[in-house]
Structure 1
Amino acid sequence: MKRFLLLSLLFSSFITCGNKKEAKTSSSSERHLSSDVDFKYILSIAKVMNTIKNSYVKEEKSEKDLFEAAIKGMMSSLSDPYSYYVSREDLDSMCKEYIEGSFDGGIGVLMLKFTDSDSIIVVEVLQGSPAEKAGLKRGDKIVKIDNQTLEGKKSKDCVEIIKGKENTYVTLSIRKKDGSVTKSKLRRSKIEIDNVKGEMLEDNIGIIYLNKFSGKVAEKTRKIFSDLKKNGAAYIILDLRDNPGGTLEEAIAVSSIFTKKDPIVIQESKEEKKVFGSLGESDESIPLVVLINNGSASGSEIVAACLKSHKRAILMGEKTYGKGSVQAVAPISSEDPDKGAIKLTIAKFLGPKDEIIDGKGVEPHICIGQDSSAISAILDEEAKSLRHFENFYIKMLESVDKQKKTQLQSAINIIKSVKGKFDIFFEGD
């Protein structure tokens, strides 16, 4: 299978995370760190860098390049996919996404590019974004950016061409599903990430779609929950399917909306075992269903495990991913932010009753699986060439969407059949 890279929502931002007080603390940590590490190893690294810089005869490498390579080497030695080096640019973007829930200078699309492909597949178009206004749809293919072909370009190259300053323009050549190619001129803008939304379904059932735990999502979730109640919701579905997580704080805050029981989650590090309780102002008056699947991870699993353990919600869908670890982002130098940071696994989290989540996931009360045979049938129809594999991917997206709708309808039917008598699902818990 061809290797592919996922392009995240396009953005360009430069911000500073932290304040002077935090910077002072970091400086103290740096002094403490130097006393804990045998200085001869640091000198040896510096000697290797100096030798490469002065004697290597091929491609010249700057001290910054060598420094970053050394950090990346240390992080990769941990064999932990969640611990890695973060460049200054990526750190700025990460801070902006998690704190503000927005990106600057983007067009509002989630895209995928296969390494050897000459086009980019549009996977998702954000509501109200420049891309939506220009008529981009899921399954469209971008074949040129400002008249530049994409053959041989990496995902990062394409992102760099598309993103830019707010109120500047980018022209995309788009191949539609019928094979026709159109040109669209899009004005880059600040993209607000709408990670949560809600609506009323049939039979007084309200649903909250929660895509990620970032950008003050708990505050928005609380308001949507309140609005659904005012609109007559007698039952609430919290949809956490394909939610990859986010910040621990937001996951705790969302859990606290629905339960006042303690603990919400337990965090276990090398030094201590920390218990996080409910933040209060909880509403336990409405029966709750939580939809989960294998794409529900991290923060989603904190919420699901909490509400299941406290018998506050019925979990429906599939077993979750099983990422029960906590990462922290630590700047390498408080004096020189250009050196970037490391993202490091510092703890694991457990359910309220010490349930292990990492590597195991959270099991639903009622399993409503997706039919993998439908996707296999699509793959069997397509040849193994890259062009046909791209077509397979587009069809797979459509199939997954259809099956997720079927899952949701099954959950609605179960709610209607039990008429709020959820206690029958808690027997034996």
Structure 2
Amino acid sequence: MKNSKLLISVIVTAIITAGITYNVVQPRESVSSNPDDPFSKLRSTYDILQSNYYKDVDTTKLVEGAIKGMVDSLEDPYSVYMDVEEAKSFSENISSSFEGIGAEIQESNGSIMIVSPIKGSPAEEVGLKPKDVILKVNDESVEGLSVNEAVLKIRGEKGTKVNLLVQRAGVGELTFTITRDTIPLETVYYEVIEDNIGKIQITKFSETTGEELSNALKELQSKNVKGLVLDLRQNPGGLMDQALLMSDLFVDKGEIILQVEDRTGAKEVYKAENNKVVNLPVTVIIDGGTASAGEIMAAALHQSAGIPLVGEKTFGKGTVQTAKAFDDTSSVKYTTAKWLTPDGSWIHEKGIEPTVKVELPAYANLPYINPDNVLKVGDSTPEVNAAQQMLKALGYTDISEKGYFDENTEKVVKQFQEDQGLTVDGKITKDTTIKIIELIQNKIKDNDTQLEKAISVLKEQL
């Protein structure tokens, strides 16, 4: 008996040392499963939990959890199960306006990452950049969340605010306070710029984008423009059929637009089906926010129509997804194939290199300054450094750029406030911050080096 107690003591000690506590009151019983039926184990687990779990079990949660686990096991950031609310959010993003911050996000190596902010959106205005990694939403970690779960935390009613903590490569952690707004359906913007050149910006590929582009081309051609600059920067992609439809306008009939390779290696080749509509010189601007369908179009126009690409390397998304809806409107989005450029290249996680590499001025990539924060003498933060660099870019060259708000910085801030008709107190508060950001944004527009180079390259073709 004594030895028996000693044995029990040793076992308990070993369990506690291992950090594990068991309170098993019955011996384990094996559960039979049919090796010929891969779902028998799943059904048995469901039955066990339904019958024996110590609390009532929500059947819907069990089933949806199983489906999510199945899809997550693919370890593919573009394949996800979406419950009813998540599926509705996904559908809105493709087909209609919605309320939120206006940024495309994806899961990348277990993190939630910005693919691209949408043109004119709150996300773009505050300075979110492609490949910013979201760490927290309203002080809640997004670690372990799916893309759709993160989207539901970020979205909200127009006029409400959301706080994002992001990690930016080479910069560190940044905090953004963003006021949600209505993100419009319009995806194509056009205008006539210098020397009667037409400029078209495409912000994403939704259900109406092909029609919008056709209308823009008709309007610009009616104005007898001499050439076109197609701006695909910060375009996160969207519907593949729209990319095919739109590329067809620029590529000769019979030329390859896209190849799609399935799991067996079989390839389906998509070619231009119509005579091209655009017979003018064209250049395309791309950057790190050009992704997916945006990359399809950029590659097609470059490789099959000889159109030069100007800017920076694209994002690098080379897979195709489809979504299947269930009767309750929940759905599963999953990857069906790789897409390849006309010459057969797979650009996934590599991106497309521009023909002519051009970066924006350094001040175009400065981090956001939160207008709700007060920056004053004695502060030493990344926001102080950003403010100093912005002020220097605006012509206040005597300012320090060390990130420490010293007396010289206060002096320069007072001068800036006086020049702009603001309250002169030497602190960077809401009105001063907003004015600095406004002037920097105007300066970026006035000094768009990528657009300037695209125009220059276009003129060489005239």
Cα drift, residue 88 of structure 1: 2.4
Query: Which structure has more RCO (C-alpha within 8 Å, separation ≥ 6)?
Result: 1
Is the Cα–Cα contact under 8 Å of residues 282 and 458 in structure 2 kept in the other structure?
A: no
Closer, same or farther: CA 158–223 of 1 in aligned 2, 3 Å: closer
Cα drift, residue 91 of structure 1: 2.2
Is 1:421 the counterpart of 2:421? The answer is no
> Paired residue for 1:286, among 266, 274, 280?
280
What is the CA–CA distance in structure 1 between the aligned matches of 2:383 and 2:48, rounded to whole Å? 47
Give CA-to-partner distance per residue, 1:40-65, whole Å, 9 cap, x none: 3322212212322333336x541111
What is the CA–CA distance in structure 2 between the aligned matches of 1:275 and 1:214, rounded to whole Å? 22
Question: Which residue of structure 1 aligns with residue 341 of structure 2?
Answer: 351
Closer, same or farther: CA 174–254 of 1 in aligned 2, 3 Å: closer
SS at match of 1:323: coil
Q: How does 1:78-117 map to 2 (within 5 A)?
A: 78-98=74-94, 101-103=95-97, 110=102
What is the CA–CA distance in structure 2 between the aligned matches of 1:314 and 1:108, rounded to whole Å? 35
- TM norm structure 1: 0.64
SS at match of 2:249: helix
Question: Which residue of structure 2 aligns with residue 45 of structure 1?
Answer: 42
Closer, same or farther: CA 124–42 of 1 in aligned 2, 3 Å: closer
Give CA-to-partner distance per residue, 1:70-118, whole Å, 9 cap, x none: 11111111111111112123223433443xx314xx5575389xxxxxx
Question: Which residue of structure 2 aligns with residue 319 of structure 1?
Answer: 313
Is 1:238 the counterpart of 2:230? The answer is yes
Is the Cα–Cα contact under 8 Å of residues 108 and 126 in structure 1 kept in the other structure?
A: no
Q: How does 1:12-411 map to 2 (within 5 A)?
A: 40-57=37-54, 61-98=57-94, 101-103=95-97, 110=102, 138-139=125-126, 156=152, 159=155, 162=157, 192-261=184-253, 262-271=255-264, 272-331=266-325, 333=326, 336-338=327-329, 340-371=330-361, 375=365, 382-383=381-382, 405=445, 408-411=448-451
Aligned residue-pair number: 327
Identical-residue share of aligned pairs (%) = 28
Closer, same or farther: CA 174–330 of 1 in aligned 2, 3 Å: closer
What is the CA–CA distance in structure 1 between the aligned matches of 2:259 and 2:102, rounded to whole Å? 34
- TM norm structure 2: 0.60
SS at match of 2:285: strand
Cα drift, residue 282 of structure 1: 1.6
Give CA-to-partner distance per residue, 1:372-396, whole Å, 9 cap, x none: 58746889963599xx9xx9x9999
SS at match of 1:370: coil
Closer, same or farther: CA 395–279 of 1 in aligned 2, 3 Å: farther
The amino acid that maps onto 1:319 is K
The amino acid that maps onto 1:264 is I
Is the Cα–Cα contact under 8 Å of residues 317 and 407 in structure 1 kept in the other structure?
A: no
What is the CA–CA distance in structure 1 between the aligned matches of 2:49 and 2:67, rounded to whole Å? 16
What is the CA–CA distance in structure 2 between the aligned matches of 1:381 and 1:312, rounded to whole Å? 50
- My pick for the range that moved more, 361-370 or 46-55, is 46-55
SS at match of 1:321: coil
SS at match of 2:308: strand
SS at match of 2:37: helix
Is 1:412 the counterpart of 2:452? The answer is yes
Is the Cα–Cα contact under 8 Å of residues 323 and 359 in structure 1 kept in the other structure?
A: yes
Closer, same or farther: CA 94–225 of 1 in aligned 2, 3 Å: same
Q: Structure 2: where are the runs of 5+ without partners?
A: 1-33, 105-116, 128-137, 142-149, 164-178, 370-378, 388-429
Question: Which residue of structure 1 aligns with residue 401 of structure 2?
Answer: none
Give CA-to-partner distance per residue, 1:11-31, whole Å, 9 cap, x none: xxxxxxxxxxxxxxxxxxxxx
Give CA-to-partner distance per residue, 1:252-278, whole Å, 9 cap, x none: 011011112411100000243101111
